Structure 1
Amino acid sequence: MDATGKKNMTSDDLRAWQARHGYTYNSAAAALGISRATYARYLAASGDLPRMLELACAAIDACPPRRNSS
């Protein structure tokens, strides 16, 4: 939990975020601007994930990246 009492993001939350967007490992990593290896480490982590990752996921939830239509 953070200082406000809110539950921090965990690997289970990250998996749920990935599924909600229909992302693969590669596309999730690309959307977050991180390598596939780093994304895999976050999924394998126990405990709280970095706040910056949670904020990046929240930003994508609020305004999903545009996909090329060509």
Structure 2
Amino acid sequence: MTPDDFKAWRSIMGYSQTKAAEELGISKSSIELYERGTRRDNGEAVIVPLSIALACTALYHKLKPWPEK
């Protein structure tokens, strides 16, 4: 998931950065990093983790959490 993909997902979902952070269970600063794609302090690339990309897909498709036994 690229930064542009992540931004597009958030826009399609109608989420603010704060709402996206709440729904994904991460910090707002992580949302900002994923959308920017680089760290401000050193310009190092920031990759959207697969777990976050999959969570975005699950939220988009309105999937429920996997049942616990």
TM-score where L is the length of structure 2: 0.72
* Number of aligned residue pairs: 57
RMSD: 1.9
Residues 14 and 43 in structure 1, CA contact (< 8 A), matched pair in contact too: yes
Between the aligned residues of both structures, percent identity stands at: 35
Residues 18 and 24 in structure 1, CA contact (< 8 A), matched pair in contact too: yes
1:39-63, Cα deviation, whole Å (9 max, x unpaired): 1111111574211111000110111
Q: Which runs of 5+ in 2 are unaligned?
A: 38-44, 65-69
| Separation in structure 1 between the aligned mates of residue 62 and residue 13 of structure 2, nearest angstrom | 12
Residues 33 and 46 in structure 2, CA contact (< 8 A), matched pair in contact too: no
TM-score where L is the length of structure 1: 0.71
1:16-36, Cα deviation, whole Å (9 max, x unpaired): 000101111100111111010
The aligned counterpart of 2:53 is 54
| Separation in structure 2 between the aligned mates of residue 14 and residue 56 of structure 1, nearest angstrom | 11
**Which amino acid in the other structure matches residue 2 of structure 2?**
T
| Separation in structure 2 between the aligned mates of residue 28 and residue 64 of structure 1, nearest angstrom | 16
